[in-house]
Structure 1
Amino acid sequence: MEKYTIIKLNKRFEEYAYQQDGIEYWLARELQELLEYTQWRNFENVIAKAKIACEKSGNAISDHFADVSKKVQLGSGAIKEIPDFMLTRYACYLIAQNGDPKKEQIAFAQSYFAIQTRKQELLEERIQLMERLQAREKLAATETELSKNIYERGVDNSGFARIRSKGDWAMFGGHNTSDMKRKLGIKANRPLADFLPTITITAKQLATEITNFNVKKNDLKGERNITNEHIKNNDDVRSLLGKSGIKPEELPAEEDIKKLERRVKSLDKQIAKKNLKGKNDTDNEQ
């Protein structure tokens, strides 16, 4: 496909895009025109195949193919409503994948929507990874604050480790830190929190934050008093999780935080490359 054709098609596809509530979409009747399908019934067959592919991929059809209608004027002057669809980028990608690749417009659309869809997938994956990374960083900061806080009240590093393990004992229904490491297959020299799901990390952080607050507020001193406070707070947060049917000790281990950090860096490079490609494509149009 010639460079001029690619630039022209790219511009046309962008011009036909709409925005609603921050979501980009295309109208099926207009995509039919872009892909040069002369008969709506033939294009409807392609849409039907795309819907099946959408469902098989585990996505809700209604999230990507929204039924709408549009009014058109007939030759007689009468107004008639005809069916249409609002299509997400992913829906357009599936339609292109089920179209005739021998058609120039289809071949372009397959690459165009594949790139855009993959970029969106990368962004969504990065956001999910960052949520867990940020939760872990917040827990580490809160635990560091607690360590400093209780050191001023007569508790050394060994005492802090015991307090934290007792907190885990309450959070994980009678399993202390060492128990949970064995249960999840985590090496003894690695932090338990590096392998916990975001919900559990957040729960531990909340309990630790409450302990910090109450230790200062009530001027608690000594390992026993602070341990009792930390057990109570972890037990309270565990009870809150239980109301939603969540038992922290039954949740499986997740990917090592260290590997997660490397994955985020890798994703950042991929996203940067796609952003650079998009910028270069725009520059070439000008």
Structure 2
Amino acid sequence: MENKINTDHQSFESIRQTNEQGQECWSARQLSKVLAYSEYRHFLPVIEKAKEACTHSGQVVSDHFEEILEMVIIGSGAKRKLPDVLLSRYACYLVVQNGDPSKPVIANGQTYFALQTRRQELADDEAFKQLKENEKRLLLRNELKEHNKQLIDAAADAGVTTDRDFAIFQNHGYRGLYGGLGAKAIHQRKGLKKSHKILDHMGSTELAANLFRATQAEEKLRRDEVKGKSQANKTHYQVGTKVRETIKDLGGTMPEDLPTPENSIKQLEKQQKKQQKKINKT
């Protein structure tokens, strides 16, 4: 499985191009081959669905999908101009999200482009880069709170209804991301008390990994119209595993090996309130 993921990820990178503006892009025709579509015409409906998703997300389609004519080698070595689409990394993410879920390469592509898109967003965000570690933690923790609410709603639609159901569901996501470690084991590894919330004792890198797990789990539950607690748990575990595999493939540190910050999120929030009071008094 690991070799398969590495091969797929290398394939996505090998067809990456740079346009006249120096921006990275992918040829839809080349991507269709990597994603195992037998003919480009079968791939066109996927592109159209991706454009619709782009519009719904509030993005300008033309910023991510550029219609072009490209010289393509056809039979007997002859060349002919055929329509193609240059895709941004975000467009590729939308394409694989709307691709044939039965293809293993599609699942790997979903993880790859989603994580890379998220990493690029953070890299491009100058404000985020200027933040100190504790400020990043507070920002990511608050964002994760909001996405966890959406994840709860998606899980509820799938049949995860009681608090106990959701605890089990959440544990499956942790086990996938943390290499088999559930919430209790993560507590022990971090040296936390039973009353402590795991997410309040994570650094920014670990929070970002869990944020990605939560957003992708919610999307997959809704996109695949998952039904039943058992299937929802399985889906969350699979998403956590995919995120873990991608972190490993990119040479990152496994979540369970990341250091636990000295101060919890609650402590940071108290410090922030105190500082704000001082500022208000001056």
TM superposition score normalised by structure 2: 0.49
- Give the number of the structure whose alpha-carbon radius of gyration is greater: 1
